[in-house]
């Protein structure tokens, strides 16, 4: 599927806030390496960008959708940045674009908020093999969107945490 980029103008059929090429350039510029110094920057795809966007659409955002017909949660009206400065209703904040990029990175790296993961082992017993998991039988765990550090740091001020009524 081709990405259709939301620019802040309420683009019909928009399904992403940033192109795959721009997202890849963003990650490449950070020279992400593991503990052994090996480059671990993933090669992003349109599919990864869409999966990251899917995760972002489930968030309870500050403010209200600027246009009800817009398929994506941004642009928004009455939303404020971390400095409590009003964000224009025709702008997609850079933090939102960066959060989508980092989500795509984490999804490619195996931390997908939409995929249940196997529960953590709470206790093991070797003789007569016994394993106890950290959750009840039949339950699964998943990665919390805001447990991903580069996502949380970008979204923390843009999320509605008041517990009030969602209107968009």
Rounded CA separation 104/44 (Å): 7
Rounded CA separation 113/55 (Å): 7
Residues 61-92 pLDDT 10s: 999 999 988 899 999 999 999 999 999 999 99
**Does residue 2 belong to any structural domain of this protein?**
no
- The number of distinct structural domains making up the chain is 1
Domain hosting 97: range is: 20-155
Q: Which pLDDT band holds residue 128 (cuts at 50, 70, 90)?
A: low
Checking if the pLDDT of 6 tops 70, the result is: yes
B/e letters for 78-91, b = 16+ CB within 10 Å, e = fewer, are ebeeeeeeebebee
Q: Which pLDDT band holds residue 165 (cuts at 50, 70, 90)?
A: very low
Rounded CA separation 167/154 (Å): 23
pLDDT at residue 25, rounded to an integer = 94
**Does residue 166 belong to any structural domain of this protein?**
no
**Does residue 43 belong to any structural domain of this protein?**
yes
């Amino acid at each position: 599927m081709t990405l259709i980029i939301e620019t802040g103008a309420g683009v019909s059929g928009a399904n992403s806030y940033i192109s795959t090429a721009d997202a890849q350039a963003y990650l490449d510029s950070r020279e992400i390496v593991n503990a052994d110094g090996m480059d671990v920057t993933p090669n992003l795809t349109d599919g990864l960008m869409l999966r990251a966007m899917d995760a972002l659409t489930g968030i309870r955002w500050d403010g209200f959708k600027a246009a009800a017909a817009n398929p994506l949660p941004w642009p928004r009206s009455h939303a404020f940045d971390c400095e409590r400065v009003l964000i224009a209703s025709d702008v997609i904040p850079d933090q939102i674009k960066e959060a989508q990029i980092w989500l795509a990175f984490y999804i490619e790296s195996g931390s997908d908020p939409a995929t249940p993961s196997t529960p953590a082992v709470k206790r093991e017993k070797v003789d007569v093999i016994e394993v106890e998991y950290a959750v009840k039988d039949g339950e699964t765990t998943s990665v919390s969107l805001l447990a991903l550090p580069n996502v949380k740091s970008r979204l923390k001020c843009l999320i509605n945490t008041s517990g009030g009524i969602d209107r968009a």
